Each structure stands twice: as C-alpha cells, then as structure tokens.
Amino acid sequence: MQKLFQGVEGVVDRSEELKQNASGVAAVRRARSTDKLKEECGVVAIHGHPDAARMAYLGLYALQHRGQESAGIATADGQKLANIKGMGLVSEIFTDDVMDKLPGPMAIGHTRYSTTGDSALLNAQPIRVESTKGLIAIAHNGNLVNLGNLRAAMERDGVYFQTTSDSEMIVQLIAHSNAGTLVDAIADSLKTVEGAFSIVMMTRDRIFAARDPRGFRPLSMGRIKNPDGPDTIVFASETCAFDLLRAEYERDVLPGELVMVTEDGVTSRQYASGVAQSSCIFEHVYFARPDSRIYGRWVQESRDAMGRRLARESGVPADVIVPVPDSGVTAAIGYAEESGVPFRFGLIRNHYVGRTFIQPEQRVRDFGVKLKLNPVRNLLEGKRVVLIDDSIIRGTTSRKIVRMVRGAGAKEVHLRISCPPTVSPCFYGVDTPSKRDLIAANHSIEGIRQYIEADSLAYLSLGGLLKCCATKNPSGEDAGYCTACYTGVYPTDWVDVREILAAQ
C-alpha cells in the first residue's frame, strides 16, 4: 500500500491498491447502484483523552454504517492541528503507523458517504481551513440547502474554496466573519446557513459541537469519567459509538445549540430558537443502528413498534414472517409477535459482498441480489410468506427478492414495508434518486405490487409511523419529524423545484 503524508495535513493515498482490487471509489459507485437509500455521514469528537485519535477511530468504527466512502481524523495538541483522511473504510485507512501521526488530547473524525460535492478525497473530511481566527477543522453530517446563493456571493467577495463540499461553506463563513470572538463567529455562521447540519469543529485548543435549528440529524454528547482529572467529553452521531468508547450518554445536543468544550469545561449557547423541530424520521426507519438512542428514543423500540403496527394495519393470513436482512429484522420481529405468525430467517445475507464485489458488466448485474441474499428453501417451500422490508426505492431489488422467494417454492409472497411510500427526494443529507426514479412517485400501490410481482403489498401509514417514533424533547414537548420523502412537504424554504415537480 502506498501512503503519502504531507506535513501535518496528510492523505492516505491508496490509488495503486484501488487499481488492483477495485475497492474504494469504484466500489462506492457500485454501492450506489443498489436499490437502497444511502446513509449520510457520521461524526465523532473527543476532548481530553491522552489517545484522542484512537478514541476517534473507535467512534468512527461504530459509525461505519453511516458512510463507507472516505474517513478522516484530525487531532490537536494545543499547538498543532494534524489531519489525515483517505478513501475507504476506517480500518483500511487508519493503520497503526497512520495513527502514530495523530498526536494530542483532542480529535474530531468523520466517515463519509458523499451527498454533495464530488466523490473524491478532495471532499473527504475533516476539512481544515486557515483563518484570521486560527486553524479550524470541521466534520459535518447533513446537507446545506442555500448553498448556491451563498457560495456564489462569497466567491464574488474573493473567498477561495478548497473543496466542492457544502461543509466548507460553514468554515469559510467562520473564517471571514467580522465577529470579535470565535464562538460568536461560529454562531453567526450557523445562523446564515440553511439545511441539515450536525457538526463537530476543532481549533488548536477547543472542540465545538452544534446542530441545525431544526435538528435534522442526530448528535449526542457523552462522558468518560476520569477519577484522576477532568472527564473526557465525547460527541457522536449515534450513541452506539459511546458503547465502544465506554462513555456514558449524557444528553443530545439540542437543535439550534452550540456546545463548546475547553480545558475549563463545557459551556453552551442557543444560537437559534423558535424554529419547529424536524428531525429525520428515516433515521428511525433505516439509517441509525437499532442499538442507538436518537432524538430521545431507542431505534430498536421504534422499529419493533413499526412492525407491530404494520401487522395491525395490514395483516394477512400467513405461515411465516421473513425479514429482508439486515434492516428489516427488527420490524419483522415486531410483526411476528403481534400477528402470532412464526419469525424465520428465510433469507440469508452474505456479509462479505458489496464493497469489494466486482460487477463490471451489464450481463452479470442480475447476480447482484443473489450474491447478497440467498433463500432458505426448506423454510419457504409451500408456505405463505410475509416479507418485511424498510423501503422500496426503485422497485428493482424488491422484485428480485419476491421472485427469489417464489423461486424457492413459496406458495404466496406478501410484501410489507415499515414506512410509507417514498415519493420525494431528500435534500437534507440522504442520497435519494430523483423523483422520476422513485417507483412510488410514479405508480399506485397496486401498480407497484404488479411490478414487483407480489401477491399483496402494503406500507405503514404516515400516522402510524409518527406514532411509532413519538418522543419528547427535553422541554417535554412532542419532538417534530421531517417526513418530506413521504409527503413532498419540505420543512425548509429552499429546495430545487425541478426535483419536486411531478415526474412526466
């Protein structure tokens, strides 16, 4: 493996390896051709730990499901700010010799599946920018929606952007702010941008964490108790990262909140308020790990409730409940318990394909699903099967799975989806096909059923989904959710109207 390090700002160059084994960018392109929405990004921050880089590595390792395209870790030791990033998985990039180049008690980390900007090392994060307020590194989960106007205005003012990523916008706004202090500059910048952002930032001696005023993406704060000195403060996109770090969950960073951690402790300010919360409900449906607690409730509980409710809303006589692994498993358990029909792993997933499988030509493309999933014939033969999945995007994968189950001898195949039909693209950090490629935007449920060749098809109702994810914010009010991909009603003003117009 060839590696290049350039001063304290380093990249891990795996170009030779990429050519040889077709992993990395090429694999990401292949992953995009699958019929699933893609996770956005995961962020982590560590303050006050002697080996902050390794803690950030562990945090990113737990958040790998949120992005497999690139990863990066920046560290600070009070003087210097080191930053290394590369294409690929966290464990591929951060080998021991790479970790040794990341000293200091503070770190931020990022794992990325790009939703804007080119899919390249250039846009890997953390992004580091030199400014009048010193060096700043940022790692961002989400997507800004007023990017075009803002970026053009800043470029007219002479700002030079290093990347095509929307995340650099935030740090450039901070760098060019007239505010007297760094924390004021950050607060001003966060007020200027519109859209989804859960961010962690680092200077030579401080860590910041913030969420956008609507709280689109999750971000939690935890603590590792240290009996001999100050506690280690950690932030992560999902609480599953805290388990690996042995950190205790303390609280969520609130929508519109900016938290600062220094040697003197944790301080916070509400930089924006009065905006209705619209957290991404699809985190509960699919993105987040079931062992995470986000927006104040366990993801596992939400998915179990979705399955139970689906059984009540659209139950059908059946012999066996089969999840489409892995994301359909928890809802399928709930469905099976509610309906009294036995749960069985009637489809087995091969965990070792996906990223590294070479899929060069159209004629072998149909193997895609068969390589990932295989039916357990003796569980399906002669049975009335209810398949549980979390979404239908284009419909092509669902059709292959239905055919596969029928081909294994199932007498009937019924498909149940644990959320409403996906009818609109996401602009808040989730990689969604355009409206013309979303099957539910262009076909009735009966039309989709015919296309996927199922005996019956039903989705969870929107009202049902909202009940399954109901939670309170710290003030005791009902937390609001974004459901735009199910309704086409967007919580922010600015979106690309061409994408929202009905497909022809």
Which residues are marked as active site? 41
Q: Is 281 in the site for ligand SF4 (CB under 6 A)?
A: yes
Which residue lies nearer to ligand SF4 by CB, 81 or 281?
Answer: 281
CB of 197 to ligand SF4, least distance (A): 12
CB of 140 to ligand SF4, least distance (A): 15
Contact window for ligand SF4 (CB under 6 A) among 231-239, 277-285, 298-306, 493-501: 277-285
Which residue lies nearer to ligand SF4 by CB, 170 or 281?
Answer: 281
Distance CA 189, CA 19 (A): 40
Site for ligand SF4 in 463-492 (CB under 6 A): 482-485
Contact window for ligand SF4 (CB under 6 A) among 53-61, 366-374, 393-401, 426-434: 426-434
Which residue lies nearer to ligand SF4 by CB, 56 or 280?
Answer: 280
Q: Is 280 in the site for ligand SF4 (CB under 6 A)?
A: yes
The torsion angle over the Cα atoms of residues 141, 145, 149 and 151, rounded to 10 degrees, is: 10
Distance CA 214, CA 273 (A): 9
Query: Strand pairing partners for 139?
Result: 200
Residue 376 contacts residue 348 (beta carbons within 8 Å): yes
Which residue lies nearer to ligand SF4 by CB, 269 or 297?
Answer: 297
Helix (H) or strand (E) holding 419: none
CA 493-219-246 angle, 5° bins: 170
Contact window for ligand SF4 (CB under 6 A) among 25-33, 47-55, 228-236, 274-282: 274-282
Which residue lies nearer to ligand SF4 by CB, 286 or 343?
Answer: 286
Residue 169 contacts residue 194 (beta carbons within 8 Å): no
Q: What is the 3-state secondary structure (H, E, C) of 135-204?
A: EEEEEEEEEECCHHHHHHHHHHCCCCCCCCCCHHHHHHHHHCCCCCCHHHHHHHHHHHCCEEEEEEEECC
CB of 267 to ligand SF4, least distance (A): 29
Q: Is 294 in the site for ligand SF4 (CB under 6 A)?
A: no
CB of 216 to ligand SF4, least distance (A): 5
Phi, psi (deg, nearest 5) at residue 63 = -105, 15
CB of 41 to ligand SF4, least distance (A): 13
Structure tokens given for 304: 């179990």
Which residue lies nearer to ligand SF4 by CB, 199 or 426?
Answer: 426
Beta carbons within 8 Å of 20's beta carbon, 6+ residues apart: none
CA distances (Å), 192 to each of 67, 271, 452, 496, in order?
A: 27, 11, 45, 19
Phi, psi (deg, nearest 5) at residue 423 = -115, -10
Contact window for ligand SF4 (CB under 6 A) among 182-190, 198-206, 390-398, 425-433: 425-433
Site for ligand SF4 in 119-148 (CB under 6 A): none
Distance CA 185, CA 173 (A): 8
Number of residues that bind ligand SF4 (CB under 6 A): 11
Structure tokens given for 410: 């199932």
Which residue lies nearer to ligand SF4 by CB, 68 or 391?
Answer: 391
Put residue 445 in one of left, alpha, beta given phi > 0 → left and psi -120 to 50 → alpha: alpha
Distance CA 290, CA 499 (A): 31
Which residue lies nearer to ligand SF4 by CB, 259 or 484?
Answer: 484
Structure tokens given for 465: 């989904």
* Count, residues in the chain: 504
Cα Rg, the chain, nearest whole Å = 23
Instruction: Out of 430, 441, 468, 479, name the contact with ligand SF4 by CB under 6 A.
Output: 430
CB of 280 to ligand SF4, least distance (A): 3
CB of 293 to ligand SF4, least distance (A): 18
CB of 396 to ligand SF4, least distance (A): 20
Which residue lies nearer to ligand SF4 by CB, 456 or 471?
Answer: 471
CA distances (Å), 290 to each of 40, 148, 225, 300, 313, in order?
A: 17, 36, 26, 4, 23
Distance CA 241, CA 403 (A): 38
CB of 196 to ligand SF4, least distance (A): 7
Task: Show the site string, 214-243: x = touches ligand SF4 by CB under 6 A, - = not.
Answer: --x---------------------------
Residue ranges in contact with ligand SF4 by CB under 6 A: 216, 280-282, 426, 428, 430, 482-485
